[in-house]
Amino acid sequence: MNTNPKAGYSRFLLLVAGLGGLLYGIDVGIIAGALPYLEATSGLNAGQLSIIVAAVLLGSVISTLFAGFLADLIGRKPLMVLSGVVFIASIPMIALAHGFGPLVLGRLLQGISAGLIGVVVPLYLAECLGAANRGKGAGIFQWLLTLGLVAAAVIGMYFSFRVAQVEKLGDAAQLFQFKDAAWRSIFWVSLPPGVLFVIGSLMVAESPRWLYRRGRTEAAHTALLRSRTEAEADIELKEMEEIIAAERTSSTSAKVKESLMNRKYVIPFVLACIILACNQATGINSIIGYNATILIQAGLNDAQAHIGYVILTVVNFLMTIGAIALVDRKGRKFLLSLGSAGIIVSLICVAAIFHQTEKLRVDCKDAVQLMVSEVDSEKVLTDGTKVPVKDQVVEMKFDEAEAAELLATRGEAGKSIAGQPTTMSIIYSCGDFTSASSVTRSKDAGIIKISRNASLPSTSVEAFFKNPFADLTKSKSAPLKIENALITPVPSTANGWLTAGCIFVFIAFFAIGPGVCVWLALSELMPTRIRSNGMSTALLINQAVSTSIAAVFLPTVGRYGYAAMFLAFAGFTVIYFITSAFFLPETKGKTLEEIEEHFERGR
């Protein structure tokens, strides 16, 4: 009770960090709710819409490259303010846009904001919070990041209900106007968190460690006193002085001193990179992004799969609260080891469940390839001009009769699942670019339509995001090739919920361990001198792994099945577990200087 003002400031720091996480989550998730209405009213083609969606990733990659340099150059606090201002500037640019260019630029700014926040907020928290609260700070950042994703989904759901009401009126012009207003309103609603984050960032102190390294000792001491007692501030200031003195005496050249490859920096840097890479290699983004499709393949219907997704997000949100309570009690090493072990078990269970069904599936690619026909079509250029082109398409109504006809072409293998409810998904390619149709059930009698032109990127930028190593020019002359046309028996609803339950266990263990502790590992392991640039490099590796998994997910599932994909995720998580359990030091309750000293003694 006697340190109430200082405890109040620590809580305020946690609130600002939480707003940063909320902003990060909204940055990533807001487009999902707005995209259907943007697509219906903007007049943009599929390629342009893909670029608008992908612009956030491009902006994030760009800003991540320079975030560490900027954090060192202008300070942690100004960069936090800048990231919030960039987000605020993006909202009116998008919401008032009437064309492709402003939309891309606005989304690019949102990505830049997300990349800056992802580096600077965990960095700032690590350097400002005391050892007892540092884990809680990273936990709240992750917790409100998940809340940002939920908020973005809820905002989109609200407008979907409103649109459904307008549809009942039967007025096409009114529906068009409302959809146009809806996607703009979705972005406007996301503005207040950005404003609050900027206000909060202006009110906090600069990082004491950044100030001390700039020779501003008194300012660093004053910043420490806002959240520490006089004795605690003096101890940390002395530790900073000792670390810098040791660096100056042990370094013989400025170049070596600042290098990430200096021997005493290699171990923590490599550990952080492995943890961040394995964090994505658990498959977390793909499991969330393709959750509804996964559950439909597991045996649930469309409505049940979407209910399952809601449950998934709620479990993620609630378990993150538990992680916040445990991270400073049980420690990072314990939670990462527990979380990764639970992830391995749950992924293996999901793989085993899928294998029981997928061993029965039949590939009818030869029969579907014969359905490819050439048609006259139109291509919309970036300036809106339409030009006639030739296209190759496959269009079929997948019902019980079509399924029986296709299965009949596969002999005994087809007969073994004939007469059962089935699903179909088609994996197809044009040159270096691979796409997949949505999963369609024979009972639903849905239309499957795939198009060669629609599957090809319209620009080199879009092509880079789909496949950085592809040859777009060569692919434009390649024929439509059916890689797989997979007919799979539909498992029971009980099988679907069993799979969903295992995935809920997966997300629970992810939230309790990697979800929270990865931000701590990134910010705590890096020595102060290389922390900002090291965090940028490690986050770039994290994004590269995430992008690679997204690129191979559908082709891998198409060729080898979900069982193989989940087993691969489990294999990568084994590396995660070994690194966490046997090589990662416990950092609970230690100052950043004590952690740095541990690695220096180890070398």
In this structure, the answer to whether residues 91 and 135 fall within a common structural domain is yes
What is the pLDDT at residue 255?
A: 45
- Per the domain annotation, does 573 fall within a domain? yes
Largest CA distance in the chain: 82
Share of the chain above pLDDT 90, in %: 15
Residue 214 pLDDT level (bands cut at 50, 70, 90): confident
Spell out the SS3 assignment of 276-315: HHHHHHCCHHHHHHCHHHHHHHHCCCHHHHHHHHHHHHHH
Select the highest-mean-pLDDT range: 70-79, 144-153, 238-247, 375-384: 70-79
If asked whether residues 351 and 372 sit together in one domain, one would say no
The values of phi and psi at residue 398, to 5°, are -90, 100
- Domain termination residue (choose one: 489, 514, 547): 489
Q: What is the pLDDT of residue 359?
A: 87
pLDDT value at residue 2: 46
Block residue for tokens 């995430």: 546
Report pLDDT for 339. Answer: 92
- Alpha carbons 212 and 204: distance in angstroms, whole number: 17
The reply to whether 596 falls in a domain is yes
Query: Does 337 score more than 70 pLDDT?
Result: yes
Q: Please report whether residue 90 resides in a domain.
A: yes
Residue 256 has pLDDT above 50, yes or no: no
**Number of separate domains in the chain:** 4
Same domain membership, residue 558 and residue 458:
no
Beta-carbon contacts of 104 under 8 Å, excluding residues fewer than 6 positions away, are 51, 52, 55
Residues 469 and 544 in one domain: no
Share of the chain above pLDDT 70, in %: 80
Query: Which residue shows structure tokens 């987000």?
Result: 87
Query: Containing domain of residue 463, as a range?
Result: 363-416+421-489
Check pLDDT > 70 for residue 25. yes
Shortest CA distance to 456 belongs to which of 39, 53, 47?
47
Same domain, 326 and 373: no
Instruction: Give pLDDT tens digits for 471-504.
Output: 888 888 889 999 888 888 888 889 999 999 999 9
Q: How confident is the model at residue 125 (pLDDT cuts 50, 70, 90)?
A: confident
227 with 334, same domain: the answer is no
pLDDT at 360: 87
Looking at the fold, whether 409 and 272 belong to one and the same domain comes out as no
CA distances from 572 to 274, 278, 347, 472, 549 (A): 10, 6, 11, 32, 12
> 527 and 582 share a domain?
yes
Any idea what the Cα angle at residue 323 is, between residues 320 and 325, rounded to 5°? 115
Determine, yes or no, domain membership for 100.
Answer: yes
Does residue 357 contact residue 491 with C-beta atoms inside 8 Å? yes
138 and 235 together in one domain = no
Is 1 within a domain?
no
Across the range 67-73, mean pLDDT stands at 84
pLDDT of residue 589: 63
Q: Is the pLDDT of residue 43 over 90?
A: no
Where is pLDDT greater, at 334 or 13?
334
Per-residue model confidence (pLDDT) at position 247: 59
How much is the pLDDT for 231?
A: 80
C-alpha span between 119 and 54 (Å, rounded): 20
pLDDT of 384 over the 60 cut: no
Q: What would the mean pLDDT of 411-433 be, rounded to a whole number?
A: 86
Mean pLDDT of 170-195: 85
Taking residue 464's Cβ as centre, other Cβ atoms within 10 Å add up to: 15
Instruction: Please give the Cα distance from 526 to 268 (Å, whole number).
Output: 6
Is 80 exceeded by the pLDDT of residue 89?
Answer: yes
Q: Please report whether residue 255 resides in a domain.
A: no
Q: What is the mean pLDDT of the chain?
A: 80
Q: Residues 544, 552: contact at Cβ < 8 Å?
A: no
Cα(550)–Cα(539) distance, integer angstroms:
17
- Please name the residue that has the structure tokens 């004795």: 231
Predicted confidence (pLDDT) at residue 4 exceeds the cutoff of 60 = no
Q: Which residues pair with 480 in a beta bridge?
A: 430
Q: What is the DSSP string of 227-292?
A: TS-HHHHHHHHHHHHHHHHHHHHH-S-HHHHH-TTSHHHHHHHHHHHHHHHHHHHT-HHHHHHTHH
> According to the model, what pLDDT value does residue 264 have?
63
CA–CA dist 145, 29 (Å, integer) = 10
* 217 in a structural domain: yes
What is the tens place of the pLDDT at every residue in 423-456?
Answer: 888 888 888 888 777 678 888 777 888 888 877 8
Query: 48-73 burial, b for 16+ CB within 10 Å, e for fewer?
Result: bbbbbbbbbbbbbbebbebbbebbbe
- Asked whether 601 and 364 are in contact (CB, 8 A), the reply is no
Q: Do residues 195 and 51 share a domain?
A: yes
Question: Residue 114's domain is classified under what CATH number?
Answer: 1.20.1250.20
Weakest mean pLDDT among 295-299, 345-349, 451-455, 463-467: 463-467
Together in a domain, 181 and 93 = yes
Bigger pLDDT: 323 or 546?
323
- The pTM of this model reads 0.68
Same domain (yes/no): 54, 124: yes
